[in-house]
Amino acid sequence: MPLIVMCGYPCCGKTRRAEELKEYFEQNCDRKVFIVGDGALDVDRNTVYADSQKEKNVRASLKAEVERKVNKDDIVILDSLNYIKGYRYELYCLTKHAQTPHCLVYCLTSDEVSSSWNTNRYAAEQYTRDIFDALVLRFEAPDSRNRWDSPLFTILKDDTLPYEAISDALFKRKAPPPNQSTQSQPLSSANFLYELDKITQDVLMAIFNAQKTSVPGDVISVPGVTRTINMAELRKLRRQFISYTKTHPTENTGHISNMFVQYLNKSLH
Ligand SMILES: Nc1ncnc2c1ncn2[C@@H]1O[C@H](COP(=O)(O)OP(=O)(O)OP(=O)(O)O)[C@@H](O)[C@H]1O
């Protein structure tokens, strides 16, 4: 019955997440799960995304397929870029018409990360540089304040999917409890989670690199640290900080570095 709409940059892990969801729902509820995606349409994506008419036709085919599949019992996952706000609105109208719940799963990556994953793919699966860049430019990020983008689950590359919250959003037919995945993005920055991800990673690398030339007791980027911290520890603290900050976003992304360093100081004492 319900529809899960995947969304994100080209090569950001949508199919991987869609498969994870399929596996979860097949194992945990007695329902069939269908993934509808451009992969099944036998089209060359580089040709399609270079031609707006062809792209429109593909979108229409995918929507028609979703419409056919959405029924009382099954779960449909639409695994495509779904990067146009108006298209997501049409999908929302479709679910409203079918009186079925829906939610959006947004795989959030930076263009650098997606681009490097793209380069490491088999040649036949790769987006060309031009198409990749054009799609990143055209991307219209979801915003949970829009009813067609809500409930919105924003997933970073190292996150575990919030399966239960997604399941509740679909089957309990109520908004999931306000947690990190369903919080609105801060008003001033649509890019907040990306900034959060990038800035904390930069701080982490600065500490890690500084340790290469310092001795225990040296004051480096994190004052008071008198022991060497390995990368696994740093990553764990970064994950904790990101989880916390997603639920307490700051409007000024310029504060993220300082907040993260303070968090490290507190956690390492
Ligand atoms: N969380 C992740 N961590 C590391 N690598 C990943 C992750 N997610 C995806 N990848 C890599 O990125 C590549 C693309 O993954 P996937 O096919 O899931 O992306 P996609 O967004 O569905 O791509 P497309 O836009 O072509 O449909 C894969 O080769 C995979 O190895």
User: How would you classify residue 217: left for phi > 0, otherwise alpha for psi between -120 and 50, otherwise beta?
Assistant: left
- Considering only CA atoms, which residue is closest to atom 18 of ligand 1? 13
Q: Measured from the CA of 38, which atom of ligand 1 is nearest?
A: 27
Tell which one of 117, 132, 235 to mutate to probe ligand 1, the residue whose CB is within 8 A of the most ligand atoms.
117
Give the residue, out of 12, 62, 136, with the most ligand 1 atoms within 8 A of its beta carbon, to mutate for a pocket test: 12
Q: ipTM of this predicted complex?
A: 0.97
Mention every residue, 6+ apart, whose C-beta is less than 8 A from residue 92.
102, 147, 148
What's residue 208's pLDDT? Answer: 77
Q: What's residue 219's pLDDT?
A: 61
Give, for all 269 residues of the chain, the pLDDT tens digit. 699 999 999 999 999 999 999 999 999 988 899 999 987 777 888 999 999 999 999 999 999 999 998 876 789 999 999 999 999 999 998 888 888 899 999 999 999 999 999 999 999 899 999 999 999 999 999 999 898 999 999 999 999 999 999 998 888 864 333 334 434 444 445 567 777 788 888 778 877 777 777 766 666 655 444 566 778 888 888 988 888 887 777 777 778 888 888 888 777 76
Sequence spans of domains, the chain: 3-171, 192-268
Q: Which CATH superfamily is domain 3-171 in?
A: P-loop containing nucleotide triphosphate hydrolases (3.40.50.300)
State whether residue 7 is helix, strand or coil.
strand
Ligand 1 site, CB within 6 A: 8, 10-16, 117, 121, 157
